[in-house]
Structure 1
Amino acid sequence: MSYSFQFSPYRRRFKRPLTTHHGVWSVREGVILRLASATGAIGWGEIAPVPWFGSETVEQALAFCCQLPTDLSESEILLVPDSLPACQFGLESAWEEIQNSKFKIQNSKSPALSYSRLLPAGEAALSAWKMLHQQGFRTLKWKIGVEPIAQEL
């Protein structure tokens, strides 16, 4: 099966910059992907590399997307090189969404999904989690290793 392929880069500022062991992270960059099957099923994916985790850069991801044809075969989607893990994830996520759409029941209502949320670093997390829990979030992520070890302990 063939899938039409489109992509669009993005660059967005975080509401609050994120402090990591690698420094302050204030802008998120990536690429939104769209695959469409001949039957009209749509799948969305995102390439959002974090180079300091060992992934490709946004520039490498864009270069990869630019060289792809506008019609992709299933084998082209599944043969993204291992050196481009964020590209693999983005394309395969879009492809999986199309595959899973074959099994959806018409007019069925699924429960709304609650996604995880990131707690602020340091002591602010000790009070921030309560509001998020009240909003229905049950998976919270707390970055550690941001401050000196003596301070975090």
Structure 2
Amino acid sequence: MKLARFDLYRYTLPFSRPLTLEGITLRHREGLLLRLSGDDGSVGWGESAPLPSFSGESLDDAASQLRRLAGSMMGRQATDDWVDPYGEFGRELDGTTPSVRFGLELAAWNLHGASSGKTLPELMTPSPRDVVPVNGLLSGSLVDVLEEARRMRGAGYRSVKLKVGARTIAEDAALVRALGEELGDGISLRLDANRAWAYEEAAEFLRDGARFAYVEEPLADPARLPELVGEFGVPVALDESLVGTKLEELEDFAVAFVLKPTLLGGISRTLRVAERALRLGATPVISSAYESGVGTAALVALAAGIGDRPVAAGLDPYRMMAEDLLETPLTLPAPSVVVREAADASHTIDVRRLKRL
């Protein structure tokens, strides 16, 4: 099969409520969809959606880069190399920005799957898991957080996450303690500080003794993370620290690696970093950067195949979408998602929502 067409589209989807990221308030999610078409009639869709405040590239940057790549890809033979994380195709994309690489690789993998009769999860691994558990997000005031935690516990969630760092240290510690009592021992509580704390602030929080599964990126100075772990034995997860870091530079002090393909740099790099995490004894956790259903379905496929046990994936941001590009939206929010259903839904693109570029 040869690549016969490369089509690029832009989308704008409303959020269900305003989303504030690093001081920027977003009311819509904007991104790009690309469609690769083979000369055998096969089609593969991908999503490239830089996240404001977190992606180094803008949406216009991504569109320009994808247009340039389109010319070099037309007429190319789509081989198994396209779905090899260590293959030549992946190496050719090493100079592309993370969201562009994710979108192009996703489209290439989906095209290969359509041509070979395999779903995306089946391309990721010979035996993908049937169901992926979901990590629920908690937000709002103390009362709101506790009410949402109570609802999620009743709905069957086994893992939830709370953002910390915007309140005072005492308020965060009190809320985490209250959540622990509300959730009980059967539900994992993850924390995400987004590098909000100075070392002494993190130390003050940890001295309180609140219990949790791990805290993502607690320090404004990530170079001191090994020191924090050494002093307090705190379970730390890496997120932002993974972006742009060479695999051989990743150390073994973290208990989890939070993998966001849109920010990390595509499917192949995500799989390689996940493999590195497992070798270091850390848990790979697939997570969203507020992609549409097209990108989120790819995250489900990744989560279904990485590691030897199910790990709750950070798919809950999908519920922020008031509308989607899929005619059959994903069955989220929910404590888990059926992998085959997500794979099937990912092909139901509503092209009426797209603007051709």
Answer with 90-99 or 23-32: which moved more: 23-32
TM-score (norm 2): 0.34
Answer with 70-79 or 5-14: which moved more: 70-79
- Secondary structure of the residue that 2:53 maps to in structure 1? helix
Deviation at residue 54 of structure 1 after TM alignment: 3.9
- Residues 28-107 of structure 1 correspond to what in structure 2 (within 5 A)? 28-67=29-68, 68-69=70-71, 71=74, 73=76, 74=78, 78=90, 79-101=92-114, 102-104=116-118
* Separation of aligned partners in 2, 1:97 and 1:141: 31
* Separation of aligned partners in 2, 1:133 and 1:45: 34
Q: Which has the larger radius of gyration?
A: 2
- Gaps (5+ residues) in structure 2? 83-87, 120-129, 174-357
Deviation at residue 143 of structure 1 after TM alignment: 3.8
* Residue pair 1:114, 1:136 contacting (<8 A) in 2 also: no
**Aligned-residue CA RMSD (Å):** 3.5
* Residue pair 2:8, 2:33 contacting (<8 A) in 1 also: yes
Q: 2:148 aligns with which of 119, 128, 147?
A: 128
TM-score (norm 1): 0.70
CA shift in 2, pair 1:152/1:61, >3 Å: same
Answer with 112-121 or 44-53: which moved more: 112-121
Q: Deviations over 1:12-38 (max 9, x none)?
A: 221111233334232211101111222
Deviation at residue 96 of structure 1 after TM alignment: 1.0
Answer with 7-16 or 133-142: which moved more: 133-142
Q: Deviations over 1:59-89 (max 9, x none)?
A: 1011123333383635897433534110000
Q: How many residues align?
A: 148
CA shift in 2, pair 1:99/1:5, >3 Å: same
Structure with the higher fraction of residues in helix conformation: 2
Letter in 1 for 2:6: F
CA shift in 2, pair 1:7/1:130, >3 Å: farther
Q: Percent identity?
A: 28
Answer with 65-74 or 81-90: which moved more: 65-74
Structure with the higher fraction of residues in strand conformation: 1
